[in-house]
Each structure stands twice: as structure tokens, then as C-alpha cells.
Structure 1
Amino acid sequence: MLTARTSLRRVFSLFRSLSSTKASTISNISRTCPTQWTVIRTITSTRPLPKTVPLTFILSNGTEKKVDAKVGNSLMEVGIENDVGIVAACEGTLCCSTCHLIVDDKDFDSIPDMLTDEEMDMLDTAVNPTQTSRLSCQIIVSSDLAGMTFTVPSSFSDARLL
């Protein structure tokens, strides 16, 4: 059993993580002041959650690199840990496009993390974005990503310098 308190900003992340357990409940949502909500989450699971999931990165030189990604990390963190060529100049603060990845066509709609307006704005500054481009800092590794393939573009630009 796990209990956590968080602000409304993280509510969507909580709901997303709940979907990765077989049996789960949200025990309490309460408003603590006019501008902030507090969520108390209780997760009970009848099976252990996977600690890592297999992912494949296609590097900028065309070679494939299979990695075991830790659940809960961002794809950006996984890419940096496994030296796949992600720069991440802003360190995941959604201020640049240097962690740009191209998601395999068949996998794009299966990613649980929704594309936000802010991410789309940053992708406009990426070099040669595609219909399946995403910023790796905005995708959190979960069991839903198991077996997916991500391509690291051969070049990047830093939106902070534009």
C-alpha cells in the first residue's frame, strides 16, 4: 500500500500511474484552499509492478540499442543513462527541443502521456519534426511502453538559442 499527497498539477500523473496496476483505488480528493487540491492516493496491487521495461532506441547512425528502462523515469533520463544521443540541454524543464525523439508509427497512439500545447510549441522548434515526434522529457516510462521503438534524430536545435 502506498499513500501520497500531491497538488492538482500532478493529478493526471496519478491517474496515469493507477492504470498500471491490476487493482487500484483513489481513496480521497479534497480541496485544502481555493487554489490547491490535495489528492491522497492509495494503491493496492495484486501483482508486483515491473521495475523495468524493454525499449529500443534507433540511434542517429541507424544502429539499434535495446535498453531496460526503469519504470517512473522519463524517456529523457533513460536516454541519457544509456547514452543514446539525447542532449537534454534544459534538463527536462520543457524549455528546449534537444530531447526530441521520433516514436515508431505503430506505437505513437499507445503512449499514455498526452501531447500538450506546451510540448507542441517546443516541437515547432525541433529540427525536422514528424507527425510522431515527442519530447522525451514528457514521456514517463510505464509498462504501457514495453517493447516500443524510439528514433533519435540525427540533428537537434536548442529553442533557448532561437
Structure 2
Amino acid sequence: KTFFSNSSPQPEIEAPGRIYLNRQIQLSGGPQVDRDGDQLTSIWKVNGQALEGSSFTPTELGRYRVTLVQDDGRGISNSIDSAVVDIIPIGHPDMTPDYPSRISLGGTLSISELGIPQPNNWKFAIAGEYVTTWEAQSPGETEFKLMWFYENLPTSQVSFPITVSEPL
């Protein structure tokens, strides 16, 4: 009699330890064939959720667990390797916008008026949208938020206090 001993796959992940927010992560791992010469199928998961391919783009800061599951199709339990990827913000240039401490209800601020360096890379962040003009919409102490764009992607946000007054 001849017996065949099936070896389970031994996946190894190659993933960056840290990457910037909104940057695509291309995952790689191996091997493609196990020690028995069996072609392996691979499934990538991020925080337990299967990916369509081998890349993903994190849109939130934090720690992500990347998992590679490989199967040789011979019925032995799948083999797993995992890694942790920390998503970090890209910093923005130091800047201090020139704006009034008080503004009338309905008044506006524009990026071009703020006197900040690299104004084409800044936008106001308002309810998930990025615009070049901010409008004072309710009276009282509030803030406006500026988003720094790096390579045309939103990467770092900073807030500034402002008081909105009722018109006289």
C-alpha cells in the first residue's frame, strides 16, 4: 500500500506595518504552491471581512488585522497567517489662518482669504463634503474645519474656533 501524506499550506504575509490613511495597500503572500506541489487558493481578509482581491484602501485611522487564508483543496483545514497594519494620518503643514474671531450670521470665509500656505491643498470640511467657502449658519461659539489634501486625497483635518453673531 502507498500512503500519501498531505501537508497543509504555510502562508506568509508581506504587508506594511504602517501606511497612510486613504492609501491603497497591496497585500502579498505566499507561497502559491504547497510542499506537495498543490496549487493553493488564497483569500485575504481585513478585520475578518473577505476582500475581492489582494488590496484595500483604509478610510479610517486605526489598527487593521490582515489575514491570509490558503487552501490546497485536499480537505486539510485551511492554513492562516495574519499581520497588523497601523493606519496613520499624514500630517499637514504648520499654518495659522488669518480670520476674524467673530463673524456675522450668514457671513463667509474663503480659502483664498485665509492667507495660508499652499491654499490649493486646503478645503473646508463640511458634513463630509470639501468646499472652498464656509458660511456661518448658526449663532454662537462654533468652529470651522480645514482638510489638508495630499496627492488630491483628504489626509489631515484641523479645526479653528470662531464666534458667529446675530446681525445688528
- Shorter-normalised TM-score: what interval? under 0.3
More strand per residue: 2
Greater RCO (Cα-Cα under 8 Å, separation 6 or more): 1
Point out the structure with max Rg over C-alpha: 2
Q: TM-score, normalised by structure 1?
A: 0.25
- Of Structure 1 and Structure 2, which has the larger fraction of its residues in helix? 1
TM-score with structure 2 setting the length: 0.24
